[in-house]
Structure 1
């Protein structure tokens, strides 16, 4: 259950103001029907969570306990640094004529592949040696983090996203550093 709650919370947080959330907001504005777009986002997020969780379990069988701790610490560190780094502009896929479901599915799949959330899911699955709970928690957390962008679209711009990104980024970076030092035996 810890793996579920950890991935749920962390993946929801790292979506805040992220390019994936901005893409969802842009696609929500572009397509008048949020239902098909939401289905595409849910499917893409589920696929990314499954790839991360299953990959994490495989990696978890190959490496030692200290390396697993370091892998998890690096996932948090990179997620934190990613939240602190300036965002590149997001391509809103204006030339895609695939409709809301396919545009949401393919656009989010491409954007999420190898992203912070997937790395957190993989590291949690590796550490827990369980793929089910990290998959479900990561999937739910990602959808929970992206749903407000689909629902509230342009109003998202008025939310205090930057302070949340900075605070969460500093917290995750600090936690990642502390866990990395502990895994390496320096602390």
Structure 2
């Protein structure tokens, strides 16, 4: 039970203000369908955190911390630029779901965004620390849900008042700051 509670608390705190929490807000703003988004976050998190314990240690032996830091920094900067590019759903297809549907899109983008994220790394470390793999995965998943579900529900209401373009610009700035920090500040 200790592994579960510690895993939940650490990941819930680590997720506050994280890029995946920002992604949850953007998905809520874009699609206005909270249930498929929440379920997509749950599925993506379970899949990602279940793999983190097994794959995370292996990947970190292949890629040094310096290379990983550079890759993450560049990824954040690319995401910042991408946030500023309006896509067809906003311009032409308002109200239509993407080809994967809201649930499928959420699973895919959330799973990918969580790769190399601090909560994924925390999951790897917690799984190594405790001999309770299922409790760690369950705890880290609950922590992610505690941090992201309110953002999906409240984010939808906030975006009714704030234009989506403003959300994109603020998101781009946050991603750019994270990218610069990752590149300039050693881990």
Does the alignment reach a TM-score above 0.5? yes
Tell me the equivalent position of 1:27.
Answer: 27
Flag the 1:6–1:147 CA change in 2: closer, same or farther, 3 A. Answer: same
Question: 1: CA distance between counterparts of 2:27 and 2:140?
Answer: 22
- Contact 1:19–1:90 (CA<8 Å) still a contact in 2? no
Tell me the equivalent position of 2:94.
Answer: none
Tell me the equivalent position of 1:122.
Answer: 124
Tell me the equivalent position of 1:136.
Answer: 138
- Contact 1:53–1:132 (CA<8 Å) still a contact in 2? no
Q: CA deviation at 1:130?
A: 2.2
The superposition leaves residues 24-75 of structure 1 with CA deviations (integer Å, 9 ceiling, x where unpaired) of 111101112211111111100111110123447x77xxxxxxxxxxxxxx9x
User: Number of residue pairs matched?
Assistant: 133
Q: Report which stretch shifted further, 105-114 or 123-132.
A: 123-132
Flag the 1:5–1:32 CA change in 2: closer, same or farther, 3 A. Answer: same
Question: 1: CA distance between counterparts of 2:108 and 2:149?
Answer: 17
Tell me the equivalent position of 1:6.
Answer: 6
In structure 2, the gaps of 5 or more residues are 59-64, 89-97, 163-187
Tell me the equivalent position of 2:176.
Answer: none
Q: CA deviation at 1:135?
A: 0.5
Question: 2: CA distance between counterparts of 1:44 and 1:16?
Answer: 18
Tell me the equivalent position of 2:80.
Answer: 89
Tell me the equivalent position of 1:40.
Answer: 40
* 1:53-132 equivalence runs, <5 A: 53-55=53-55, 89=80, 91=82, 94=87, 97-132=99-134
